[in-house]
Amino acid sequence: MTERALEGVKVLDLTHHISGPYCTKLLADFGADVLKVERPGGDSARRMAPFLNDEADPEKSLVFAYLNTNKQSVTLNLKSEKGVQVLKSLVVESDVLVENFSPRVMASLGLDFEALQQINPGLVMTSISNFGQTGSYRDYKAADIIEYAMGGLMYISGAYDREPLKHAFNQAQFKAGTDAASATLMAMYHQRLTGEGQRVDVSIQEAVATGLRDVVNNFTYTGAVRRRQPNHSGDLSRLRASSDGHLIPNPGIGAGLNWDVMVDFLDLPELAGDKFNTPSARLVNAEELGRILDEYFINQNKFERFYAAHEKRFIFGVVQSPEEVMADPQFEARNFFVDIDHPALGTLKYPGAPFEMSGTPWQARNAAPTLGQHNQDVIGSRLGHTPEQLAQMRAMQII
Under the phi-then-psi rule, with left for phi > 0, alpha for psi from -120 to 50, and beta for the rest, what region is 31? left
pLDDT per position in the chain (399 positions), as tens?
568 999 999 999 999 999 999 999 999 999 999 999 999 999 999 999 999 999 999 999 999 999 999 999 999 999 999 999 999 999 999 999 999 999 999 999 999 999 999 999 999 999 999 999 999 999 999 999 999 999 998 988 887 788 998 888 899 999 999 999 999 999 999 999 999 999 999 999 999 999 887 777 777 777 777 777 666 677 787 889 999 999 998 776 544 567 888 899 999 999 998 999 888 898 899 999 999 999 999 999 999 999 999 998 888 999 999 999 999 999 999 999 999 999 999 999 999 999 999 999 999 999 999 999 999 999 999 999 999 999 999 999 999
SS (H, E, C) the chain: CCCCCCCCCEEEEECCCCHHHHHHHHHHHCCCEEEEEECCCCCHHHHCCCEHHHCCCCCCEHHHHHHCCCEEEEECCCCCHHHHHHHHHHHHCCCEEEECCCHHHHHHCCCCHHHHHHHCCCCEEEEEECCCCCCCCCCCCCCHHHHHHHHCCHHHCCECCCCCCCCCCCHHHHHHHHHHHHHHHHHHHHHHHHCCCEEEEEEHHHHHHCCCCHHHHHHHHHCCCCCCECCCCCCCCCCEEECCEEEEEECCECCCECHHHHHHHHCCHHHCCCCCCCHHHHHHCHHHHHHHHHHHHCCCCHHHHHHHHHHCCCEEEECCCHHHHHCCHHHHHCCCEEEEEECCCEEEEEECCCCCCCCCCCCCCCCCCCCCCCHHHHHHHHCCCCHHHHHHHHHCCCC
What pLDDT, on a 0 to 100 scale, did the predictor assign at position 227? 73
Per CATH, the architecture of 240-318 is what?
2-Layer Sandwich (3.30)
Which residues touch 285 (CB under 8 Å, ≥6 apart)?
Answer: 234, 275, 276
What's the CA angle centered on 135, arms 134 and 140, to 5 degrees?
Answer: 95
Q: Closest by alpha carbon to 134, among 155, 111, 113, 117?
A: 113
What pLDDT, on a 0 to 100 scale, did the predictor assign at position 255? 45
CA gap 116, 12 in Å, rounded: 12
Distances (CA, A) of 207 to 45, 59, 144, 175: 21, 30, 12, 6
Specify whether the CB–CB gap between 130 and 140 falls below 8 A.
Answer: yes
Locate the domains of the chain by residue range: 10-212+332-395, 240-318
CATH topology of domain 10-212+332-395: Rossmann fold (3.40.50)
How many C-beta atoms surround the C-beta of residue 43 within 10 A? 26
Q: Closest by alpha carbon to 130, among 68, 45, 208, 200?
A: 208
Dihedral sign for Cα 186, 190, 195, 201, please: negative
- Report helix angle 171-194 to 144-151, nearest 10: 80
Under the phi-then-psi rule, with left for phi > 0, alpha for psi from -120 to 50, and beta for the rest, what region is 110? left
